[in-house]
Amino acid sequence: MDIRKPNDLEFEKVLELSPQAVFDGTLGEVEPTKEKIDQLVKPLLEKGSYYLIAVEEEKIMGWILLGASKDQFTNKINGFIYELFVVDKFRGNGISKKLMRAGIDQLRQEGYSEVRLSVFAENHAIKVYKDLGFNIRTVTMTLPL
């Protein structure tokens, strides 16, 4: 397995699969259209965010979307993981951990002293994040009305 930036064709495939990534990441609460993905991802890419993909035998197994984010209280710029996704048939093989390690290493090399991410409370990926040393920093709560 190789982890690297995608070529143009691979990039288009990632964007094509991104609605599924958001659907899975939000535990089915959000079912985004391709247009909504463009609205979410395009500004990130324009500000320097980028994908790393996990590929083997020319098959995309998963990806991570990396970038920067400003802390709303301190204005400090941190590395940020906006998206992590592993294609269904490749899950359970440690790909998400490999993508996370590659992403964290990349953000470290870019000079960030901290990496953050957001995740839905019941998402199984939380275990992966905790195993990698992430700690809960903030909690967003909702009250259905």
pLDDT digits (tens, 9 = 90+) for 48-102: 999 999 999 999 999 999 999 999 899 999 999 999 999 999 999 999 999 999 9
The answer for residues whose C-beta is within 8 angstroms of residue 76's C-beta and 6 or more apart is 70, 114
Look at residue 20 in the predicted model and tell me its pLDDT. 86
Look at residue 23 in the predicted model and tell me its pLDDT. 80
- Band the pLDDT of 12: cuts 50, 70, 90: very high
Pairing of strands 77-86, 2-4: unpaired
Query: Token pair 């659907």 is at which residue?
Result: 23
Look at residue 122 in the predicted model and tell me its pLDDT. 86
What pTM, to 2 d.p., does this model score? 0.92
Look at residue 38 in the predicted model and tell me its pLDDT. 85
Considering only the top CATH level, what class is 2-131?
Answer: alpha beta
pLDDT at 28 over 90: no
Nearest to 30 by CA among 38, 21, 39: 21
Q: Are 34 and 11 in contact (CB under 8 A)?
A: no
What are the domain boundaries of the chain? 2-131
> pLDDT by residue (tens digit) across 91-137?
999 999 999 999 999 999 999 999 999 998 888 899 999 999 999 98
Look at residue 6 in the predicted model and tell me its pLDDT. 98
In angstroms, rounded to a whole number, what is the distance separating the alpha carbons of residues 129 and 131?
A: 5
User: Alpha carbon of 12 to those of 113, 117, 139: distances in Å?
Assistant: 31, 24, 33
